[in-house]
Amino acid sequence: MPLPAADLAIILGYFAFVIALGIWVHKAATKGISAYFLAENQTKWWMLAASGSSAYYDITGTMWIVSLFMLYGVKGMWEQCIWGFFYAAFFMTFMGKWIRRSGVVTGAEWMKTRFGRGAASESARAAYAFLAVVTTIAFIAYGSVGIGKFGQSFLPGSLDLPAGEVRDWAGLAAQLRQEGAAAAPSVGRRIQELVPPEASAAFQAAVRPGAELSASPVILATLNHVLTRRDFYEDSAFRSISLPDEARHYLSRGPRALSDESVRRLNRLLLAAAYPQQLATPKLPPWTRNQCAMVLVIVTSLYAIVGGFVSVVLIDLVHTIILSIGVVILCAFAFVEASGSEAVQTLATSNWGSMAPPMHLTDPKALAADPSYEIFGLAVMLWVLRGVLLEFGGPGQLYDFQRFLAARNSRDACKIGALWGILHTLRWPLVAAVVVLAIAGVAGTSDPEMVLPLVLLKKLPMGLRGITLAALLAAFMSTFDATINAGASYAVRDLYQRYLRPKAGNRELVRASYVASASVVVIGVLLGFGAESIAQMFQWIMLALGGGVMIPCILRWYWWRFNGWGFTAGLLLGTGAALVQIILFPKAPIWAYFPIIVGINVVASVAAALLTAPSDSETLKHFYRTVQPAGWWGPVARDVAVEDPGFRKESFARDLANTLIAVPCVASLYIFPIYLMLRQWATMACWLAVAVGLGVVLYFTWYKHLPPAGSEAAQ
């Protein structure tokens, strides 16, 4: 369905504005490499917080979260633990200030601060920079999958069979019934064979003689399920049917070689050819998902590449304002129009609305989406474990690290973490609003990841739809520009300048940054072309690749004996294990591969560290004095005490206690608006009371004890 002119004008106007803004700040970004990537540490802390929070609102992730709620209910919140959705609690209490005190430009350059100079440090820096670029490319691929699907939904045509293309419901039902009952091979019999067992009875009732027209949604849902099957085409079933040239082209390549989208295009053509009297000629989207992704990515990349970090932060601030306005308007509309409906309230008061995770899932629809979730309780345990370990190891996404490095001092870094979490609260009522509107009446889709765009397309009035789309596209642009800038910073600072052109001037480095930014975008988008779903990309990045590099990222902060060789070995072998998993065992459940990958990561990291010499004493003492980390630093602490008896390290016990308070505070802050949108007043009030009460406690235990503004100079 194409967008009305008013909605399109709003979106195009917004695109033109942000590109112009990126070009306007181009002069500030070209002063030098520090200006391009960190804005010379002169950015206001609240702007950095808005930028970081805005970057977490990506469209792709929001589409994925909506699909989780549609499949699993509010229990889908548990899966957010795998990416550390309460990161803000760790950022505000200790991790943000630790990062800022290192005084470097990139996370890879941080290796020199922690591991000193020499081969071990260089290997760690190079390995981390390489991983950072690879991870950046993976996130760009992930983002391009979502934005491609999102953009395609607003074009004319559909990959699903819409009700409007069925000319004769009674004739279609009669032919499906007759062919399904006959022994001879036919399309109707093939459809009957592919109907899921749990849907078979409903389908048979829908096509029986005299069935009401209200049964048509059952027929439509069944056919749309069949359209996703690679094995729909069978020579004997289609032997007597004249197929269009486009369908023959797809068949010549073989269904197994086609992408999921191409399979659905092929099957739409086959179905229409089989029932030409009952079905209209298919109206398929004129652009593929990949073509839509390419257009939107090019627009987003223009200002991020030209403007650098100044552009990213300034435009992210604009994105945050637009996004906040759009979310508030959408939530108000959903609350008034849909949240009180019988369909929503029936689900909200059932097990669907409960946060309590069952040990086993039994819903056939949920298990069809991912059979590995049958042992849901075990999956929750792994998600929580992964999330907690991830957060103690520091930022897992590259632009997080960059936001804290750009802070003026460690006090600002702590405040960035707190405001980051508060601003991110708006994401959850956004998700709840979309789910509420979907439950209240949006036509179903065979792809749960498409619920978000379908809700916007079918439920919102003109004008409001344009504003909301501009807000969500702002979210995509925030995530994408942050990822581009962070990945390019590693490529230029830690690979190009470090190993290829150590004497390069500022002008050359900025030009190299343009090339690096464009390169990671092109490679990422091309890899995204091969991904079939958002969930496929996200779970591999977070669980396999993330699990493969998690342990070195933790040990670097908390164990003095950990060195550059341990970091390099753990990172490379963990990454290798993740690649083996996706290539050889792509269908393995998370509880099968995650412990193995993490185990390899632990053994490689610890063994390599113990078999090689520790980092030099001066580096360790400097790191201990400036960053003031926690954990097992006894020998280094004693050396520092001998040299500087007056040195007093900050208490990590206070930071840890504040973290334990902040985690439930942040979680409650995110959960209460979901129950507000569902009109579950008592549950909402409980979560809100927890958030407010713990927030008051944190004012006295955390805010009153922030580091002084002059605790270190801007680096």
**Which uninterrupted H or E stretch holds 90?**
helix 87-90
How much is the average pLDDT of 542-569? 91
pLDDT band at 42 (very low <50, low <70, confident <90, very high): low
Compute the average pLDDT of residues 22-40: 50
Q: Among 171-175, 270-274, 454-458, 622-626, where is mean pLDDT lowest?
A: 454-458
Report which DSSP code applies to 373: G
Bigger pLDDT: 586 vs 516: 516
**Closest C-alpha to 392, from 11, 715, 87, 707:** 87
Give the contacts of 361 (CB within 8 A, at least 6 positions apart): 72, 367, 373, 374, 376
Cα separation of 421 and 91, whole Å? 9
* Residue predicted with more confidence, 495 or 602: 602
Q: What is the mean pLDDT of residues 372-378?
A: 83
- Across 363-383, average pLDDT: 79
pLDDT at residue 197, rounded to an integer: 82
Model confidence at 550: pLDDT above 80? yes
Cβ atoms of 79 and 166 closer than 8 Å: no
Give residue 312's pLDDT. 57
Global pTM value: 0.78
Q: Which residues contact 347 (CB under 8 A, 6 or more apart)?
A: 73, 353, 439
Q: Specify the pLDDT at position 457.
A: 79
Instruction: Place 711 in a pLDDT band, splitting at 50, 70 and 90.
Output: low
Q: What whole-number percentage of the chain has pLDDT above 70?
A: 89
For 57-74, b where at least 16 C-beta lie within 10 A, e where not — what string?
bbbbbbbbbbbbbbbbbb
**Is residue 212 pLDDT above 70, yes or no?**
no
Alpha helices in 424-505 (DSSP H): 427-439, 451-459, 464-489
The mean pLDDT value for 532-541 works out to: 74
Q: What are phi and psi of 605, to 5 degrees?
A: -65, -50
- What is the model's pLDDT at position 418? 94
Give the amino acid at 103. G
CB crowding 312-342: b at 16 or more within 10 Å, else e: bbbbbbbbbebbbebbebbbebbbebbbeee
Instruction: With cut-offs at 50, 70 and 90, classify the pLDDT of residue 37.
Output: very low
Tell me the β-bridge partners of 559. 632
- The percent of residues in the chain predicted with pLDDT above 90, rounded, is 31
Give 409-450 pLDDT, tens digit per residue.
Answer: 899 999 999 998 998 898 899 899 989 988 887 545 556 777
pLDDT of residue 100 exceeding 60, the answer is yes
pLDDT at 521: 85
Per-chain mean pLDDT for the chain: 84
pLDDT value, residue 55:
65
- On whether the CB atoms of residues 394 and 695 are closer than 8 A, the answer is no
Cβ atoms of 358 and 74 closer than 8 Å: no
Higher pLDDT, 599 or 259: 599
Confidence check: pLDDT of 515 > 80: yes
Q: So what's the pLDDT on residue 35?
A: 43
Average pLDDT over residues 453-472: 79
Q: What is the pLDDT of residue 198?
A: 77
pLDDT in tens, 292-317: 888 878 776 765 565 444 455 666 67
pLDDT at 150: 83
First to last CA, the chain: 52
Helix-helix angle 590-610:376-392, to 10 degrees: 30
